[in-house]
Amino acid sequence: MELHTVRLTLRYFREDDTGFLLALMNEPDFHRYIGDRGIRSQDDALRYLLEGPLMSYRRHGHGLLHVSRRDSGEPVGMCGLLRREGLSGPDIGFAILQSHGGLGYATEAARAAMQHAHTTLGITEIFGITQPDNQRSIRTLGKLGLQFVERRALSEGGPDLNIYQGHCTP
């Protein structure tokens, strides 16, 4: 599966994307706002792919997608739909390499993923979650039309997160 925007290509992750994931998931902002997933080697990244995105594609028909620049093929991040305990539907997740931050890639990729969710998967409602101090993600969720609903933990003992909700529209 591949989606295209003016500047980006979104596609299913492949096992040969481990080097990129290793770099993305060890950036300071990833650890700060998303969390340390314990990815320290190519083997760790492969395990994450197999147990995360690749499994989600099989189970749900969607998951996180590899995001790259259309003109060069350079990887810039990941974006897609996630299923999380504590939410009644999928949420839109995104992470962009810090070197490509502030260029609108997260918004552009998320719009493409949400449009695909609506037109292909029949998903109409979408959630978004973020750390309360992650201003960049809060702005992105607003640009996507998601509105703040509440602040709460998704799991027992978990951190309080901002929960947003909106519609997937074509």
CA 55 to chain centre: 15
Boundaries of domain holding 125: 2-167
Specify the pLDDT at position 158.
Answer: 87
The CATH number linked to 59 is 3.40.630.30
**Taking residues 44-73, what's their average pLDDT?**
95
Mean pLDDT of the chain: 94
pLDDT of 128 above 90: yes
Closest CA to 137 of 83, 88, 101: 101
Per-residue pLDDT band at 49 (split at 50, 70, 90): very high
Specify the pLDDT at position 27.
Answer: 95
- Please give the share of the chain, as a percent, with pLDDT higher than 70: 99
Specify the pLDDT at position 137.
Answer: 96
Q: How many domains does the chain have?
A: 1
Specify the pLDDT at position 85.
Answer: 87
Q: How many residues does the chain have?
A: 170
Q: What is the pTM of this model?
A: 0.94
β-strand partners of 95: 78
What residues have CB less than 8 Å from 122, skipping those under 6 apart?
none
First to last CA, the chain: 18
pLDDT of 154 above 60: yes
Specify the pLDDT at position 170.
Answer: 56
Helices (H), 2-149: 18-24, 28-33, 42-51, 53-60, 105-119, 135-143
- For residues 114 and 166, the answer to whether their CB atoms sit within 8 Å is no
CA-only gyration radius of the chain, Å: 15
pLDDT tens column, 89-127: 999 999 999 999 999 999 999 999 999 999 999 999 999
Specify the pLDDT at position 58.
Answer: 93
Angstrom distance (rounded) from CA 6 to CA 120:
20
pLDDT tens column, 64-76: 999 999 999 999 9
Specify the pLDDT at position 168.
Answer: 85
